[in-house]
Structure 1
Amino acid sequence: MIEHKIRKINTLKNKIEDLAPRKEWNEAFFEKVKIDFTYNSNKLEGNTLTYGQTIKLLKDFVTPPNAAPGELLDLVNHQNILNNVFANYSSQTISEDNIKALHKELMKDLAQWNDDGLYSPGQYKVFENYTMRSNGKIHNYLLPTEVASAMEELIHTTNEQLQQIDIHDVNRHPLTIATRFHQELLNRIHAFSDGNGRIGRLFTNLILLKEGYPPIFIKDVDREEYLKRFEKSDEDISPMLDFLADRLIESLEAKLEFIQKKQ
């Protein structure tokens, strides 16, 4: 099943590259999807602004009445980070320094934090964090004392794997590498006190962007299934890989349709 999806991903990517130079169409497509990416990534984290309100805020600079300052800042800061990543992805590194730097910008405003005492943009967590599984059990992330070494290992392993890519081998495909990174950072390490999901999805997409793929995003309607895939992928990333493969196919198909309409 996943082999079939990987072949479809490769075919779609080849069609896109045959139709037009990558840079020209990347810039136009990125402009199209930026607000969708920002809206959906923040919606997954509980942002209550509607899609229409998000468009008015980010495109027309119209502030929705009675909106919480933290929610507005979440969207504006995320969009600014996304502008930077999309414009400079070829020179952006998969490194601890870059992850911390982008997290610092993403979460720089105190109003974005639910607990003032946890305010620590760009710094690894100093308190334990956890989540509640759908079965009611608590899932603990790594202890704060374990984060630095785990992040160093994750970055080293990811960059090593990126040097050995083979798009015809599922285990060495860029999507598989990005999925391993995504699962390890968000399901095991959870390196920061807040903003993990957003920064994790940004860097998952940075891995894909650097290898010539369009960004993927998880829509709010897929939120429940997305969270379930974390649980199902505790020991084996296959369920999450299958889920993200569908999202990448959707993004590739959207980009292909976008280019064909413009020609």
Structure 2
Amino acid sequence: MDFTKIEELRTTLKMIQPLNTGELKRLRDEFMIDNTYNSNAIEGNVLTLEETALILQLGITIAEKPIKDHLEAIGHKDAFEYIMQLAADETDLTEHVIKTVHSLVLINDANNRGVYRSLPVKILGSEHIPPQPYLVPVQMEELVHDYTKMQQEKHIIEAIAEFHLRFESIHPFIDGNGRTGRLLMNLELIKAGMMPVNIKFTDRLKYYNTFDAYRNGNAIEAMTTLIANYEVEELEKHIQILAQ
């Protein structure tokens, strides 16, 4: 895949006067709320974007909406803020980091937070069967190890795409794998000097299809293209904001 457009947009962005601290925080908070809504909605959370904003910004409880969904919004926000700090510190992606991100995401499940699953699982709506529990620690260790090599041999977006596909295929946790995986994707994008991306709830079928493409032929192109297109979208949006 040709990443020329992304590199050109990144160069353009660097040449424009940056935002001040307050403006940057406002944009980051807006992204966090939108990202929290979309990532949780993909997994079945019924809060609207507006309700998510009210919970995260004002601490308002939404009547007749599940407490679980409220906690998922708060947990995702905490996990997002955590990965932002990790990115600022240029922290390496390790199993400890992965488990910590998951422990924040799964705020409503004290027994399974940050713990690899001990039960076999099946992904709803998919023919893919994740590995048996005893294989999870081995495959996660291999994945983290392989990711270092991926970064050396591939464009960073390709490396992140392959990591995400393999992570979700291992499905290391009993719950919260999707949200955790997408947060890790953004952690690695930010560390690489790119914009975090927001996979939209409305694009969930396109997103799911990238996993089918990978599992049917071990191809990462579909996921790579999806992430790259979102990256272009975020870069163009920020350039437009700065240009104004």
Taking structure 2 as the reference length, the TM-score comes to 0.91
Unpaired runs of 5+ residues, structure 2, are none
In the aligned structure 2, how far is the partner of 1:45 from the partner of 1:208?
A: 22
1:251 and 2:234 correspond? yes
The answer (yes or no) to whether the contact 2:41–2:201 under 8 Å persists in 1 is yes
What SS class does the counterpart of residue 123 from structure 2 fall into? strand
Aligned to 2:38: 40
Unpaired runs of 5+ residues, structure 1, are 112-118, 165-170
- Residue 23 of structure 1, CA deviation: 9.1
Aligned to 1:12: 9
The answer (yes or no) to whether the contact 2:38–2:201 under 8 Å persists in 1 is yes
Taking structure 1 as the reference length, the TM-score comes to 0.85
Aligned to 1:184: 166
Map of 1:97-246 to 2, 5 A cutoff? Answer: 97-110=96-109, 119-133=111-125, 138-162=127-151, 164=152, 172-186=154-168, 188-234=169-215, 235-246=218-229
Between 213-222 and 85-94, report the one with greater CA deviation: 85-94
In the aligned structure 2, how far is the partner of 1:70 from the partner of 1:16?
A: 39
Report % sequence identity. Answer: 29
In the aligned structure 2, how far is the partner of 1:126 from the partner of 1:23?
A: 47
The answer (yes or no) to whether the contact 2:19–2:242 under 8 Å persists in 1 is no
What SS class does the counterpart of residue 110 from structure 1 fall into? coil
Aligned to 1:114: none
- Residue 22 of structure 1, CA deviation: 8.8
In the comparison of the two structures, how many residue pairs are matched?
A: 240
Rate the CA distance shift 1:27–1:132 in 2: closer, same or farther, 3 A: same
Aligned to 1:116: none
In the aligned structure 1, how far is the partner of 2:26 from the partner of 2:240?
A: 13
Q: CA-atom RMSD, angstroms?
A: 2.0
CA deviation digits over 1:63-113, x for unaligned, max 9?
1111101000000111111122223413233000111112112213239xx
What SS class does the counterpart of residue 128 from structure 2 fall into? strand
Between 14-23 and 173-182, report the one with greater CA deviation: 14-23
In the aligned structure 1, how far is the partner of 2:24 from the partner of 2:146?
A: 28
Map of 1:51-70 to 2, 5 A cutoff? Answer: 51-70=49-68
In the aligned structure 1, how far is the partner of 2:139 from the partner of 2:63?
A: 43
